Amino acid sequence: MAVNPIDSPILGGLFGTDAMRDLFSDRAWLQAMLDVEAALARVEARLGLIPAGAATAISKAAKVDLLDVTSLGASTRLVGYPVVALTKALARAAGADAARYVHWGATTQDILDTALVLQMRAGLDLIGNALAAMARALADKAVAHRDDVMAGRTHLQHALPVTFGYKCAVWLAPLIDHRQRLEDLRRRALRVQFGGAVGTLASLGDSGRSVTVGLAEELGLASPDAPWHVARETLAEVAAVLGLICGSLAKFATDIVLLMQTEVGEAFEPHQQGRGGSSTMPQKRNPIASEYVLAAARGVHALVPLMLSAMVQDHERATGPWQSEQLALPQIFVLTSGALMHASTIAAEMTIDAKRMRRNLDATGGLILAEAAMMALAPHLGRAVAHDVVEHACAAAIAARRPLVDVLAEDAQVAAHLDRASLQKLMEPASYLGEAQAVVDRVVARARAAMGES
């Protein structure tokens, strides 16, 4: 049994995608470190700091399959980091002539941090692609259901009419912002870390900056003005942005859970035989995907503070905060991928019951249009008086279980200004949607433009 369900062969597929889990696996992590070591050797050879033959040999040897992971683990438990054993293994594989030039001018954290950046780059690609897929699905749903009227709810009670397309647009809008956040974030976070023992690269003499810039170019990363080995704000920002994404996904999942309630029954997760079933109640169709979105989001939100606290690093090498990032960031990426996996599937394949939406709208006998009646009376009675008149009518309609239009039509103050035909027209939910459909049009247009679609 795995201690963390992310790594469980039974539960892992519920909490994260295989692609993201593979990206943060030990094998991928070790290969990322080897990629950094090989790139460093090639850059230093071009600058004449090490022989070209050594760089070629190191690059050929920088393959994770050549490592003995068992002995690497034993060394890591002793030393505290894997880089010492990794560079020794790389040196052996590269041969005696090249061995002396492995890890030239670098320190452990340079390799670990830059390897992490390579993993984050690939991870952000996966998340960006998943966000785009979900955004497209919600945009399609918003257009398809632009005019399907339903109850808008505040405090879990009927408030005013909206459309399901409007609801989809409200779910969609933050995803567009998150995609922009990811683009902005990449410029700040995807930077090489290369500083040597304390960040000054003293061991490379006057070639330190040239190696840093060359290494960044070789790996397709940005070159920072200063080393960031003890300035961890961009890693914390990555975690925070993924936390924001998960917050938006959790809001979406919460709404789906509520819409799936038996008493509501307006929208449902995609269903297949046995999905969300119960071991004892054959009728159950539980919102299982939404539940795992919520679980993953809570996990991410619990881990983001660990990344924030890891920013407090002492002097030129931290005593603990740096290591604690390893507990949080890979999990944050995997859990975010899991939340997106479930949410994207729901967005693309959910079923909508527009007829049920209409029945639920009518369930309160027109009370959901009370504001419409109040605003129609306000020019004649003043807003405060109109509010009191309609509020009393609502109370009477609830007590007598009568349609609101009937009670309003019998009120002398109302009848003096609005006849029954006018009131009946006010009681049609589709006539009181305000900006709902315009919101759909604006958000969908923005989403399409952001993804380069017409």
Convert the pLDDT of each residue in 190-199 to its tens digit: 999 999 999 9
Final residue before a domain boundary, out of 199, 219, 239: 219
Is residue 320 domain-resident?
yes
**pLDDT at site 452:** 85
CATH of the domain at 51: 1.10.275.10
Band (pLDDT 50/70/90 cuts) for residue 276 is low
CATH of the domain at 248: 1.20.200.10
> Which whole number is the average pLDDT over 250-278?
86
Residues 6+ apart with CB under 8 A from 29: 115, 119
Is residue 166 domain-resident?
yes
CATH of the domain at 391: 1.10.40.30
Same domain, 13 and 49: yes
Band (pLDDT 50/70/90 cuts) for residue 278 is low
Convert the pLDDT of each residue in 194-219 to its tens digit: 999 999 999 999 999 999 999 999 99
Show the CA angle centred on residue 218, arms to residues 131 and 213, nearest 5°: 105
Same domain, 122 and 184: yes
The residue from 186, 317, 358, 402 that is catalytic is 317
Domain that holds residue 9: 1-106+208-219
DSSP state of 268: E
Same domain, 398 and 278: no
Is residue 95 domain-resident?
yes
**pLDDT at site 80:** 73
**pLDDT at site 19:** 96
* Distance from chain centroid for Cα 177: 11
Is residue 203 domain-resident?
no
Convert the pLDDT of each residue in 26-58 to its tens digit: 999 999 999 999 999 999 999 999 999 999 999
Q: What value does the CA radius of gyration of the chain take, rounded to a whole number of Å?
A: 30
Cα–Cα distance between 372 and 9 in angstroms, integer?
55
Same domain, 39 and 119: no
Convert the pLDDT of each residue in 290-306 to its tens digit: 999 999 999 999 999 99
Q: What pTM does this model have?
A: 0.93
Same domain, 44 and 59: yes
Is residue 196 domain-resident?
no
Is residue 372 domain-resident?
yes
Is residue 197 domain-resident?
no
Q: What is the largest CA-CA distance in the chain?
A: 102
Same domain, 48 and 141: no
185: its two tokens: 């974030």
Instruction: Give, in order, the Cα–Cα distances in Å from 189 to each of 15, 210, 216, 288, 412.
Output: 25, 21, 13, 34, 67
Same domain, 146 and 250: yes
Tell me whether residue 317 is one of the annotated catalytic residues: yes
Same domain, 264 and 410: no
**pLDDT at site 385:** 93
> Which whole number is the average pLDDT over 269-287?
68
> Which whole number is the average pLDDT over 425-454?
92
Tell me whether residue 290 is one of the annotated catalytic residues: no
The residue from 203, 278, 309, 431 that is catalytic is 278
Band (pLDDT 50/70/90 cuts) for residue 275 is low
Convert the pLDDT of each residue in 78-124 to its tens digit: 777 788 888 989 999 999 999 999 999 999 999 999 999 999 999 99
Is residue 200 domain-resident?
no
Convert the pLDDT of each residue in 308-347 to its tens digit: 999 999 898 888 888 889 999 999 999 999 999 999 999 9
Band (pLDDT 50/70/90 cuts) for residue 5 is confident
> Which whole number is the average pLDDT over 391-411?
93
Residue 75: closest CA among 92, 87, 59, 63: 87
> Which whole number is the average pLDDT over 377-404?
93
Residue 351 pairs in a beta bridge with 268
Ramachandran region, residue 419 (left: φ > 0; alpha: ψ -120 to 50; beta: rest):
beta
| 120-140 burial code (b ≥16 CB/10 A, e <16) | bbbbbebbeebbbbbbbbbbe
Same domain, 52 and 138: no
Same domain, 165 and 65: no
What percentage of residues in the chain have a pLDDT greater than 90?
Answer: 81
**pLDDT at site 58:** 95
Convert the pLDDT of each residue in 116-152 to its tens digit: 999 999 999 999 999 999 999 999 999 999 999 999 9
Same domain, 42 and 161: no
The tally of domains found in the chain comes to: 3
Average pLDDT over the chain reads 92
Of 76 and 62, more confident: 62
What percentage of residues in the chain have a pLDDT greater than 70?
Answer: 97
**pLDDT at site 277:** 55
Same domain, 234 and 127: yes
**pLDDT at site 284:** 60
Of 242 and 286, more confident: 242
> Which whole number is the average pLDDT over 383-392?
94
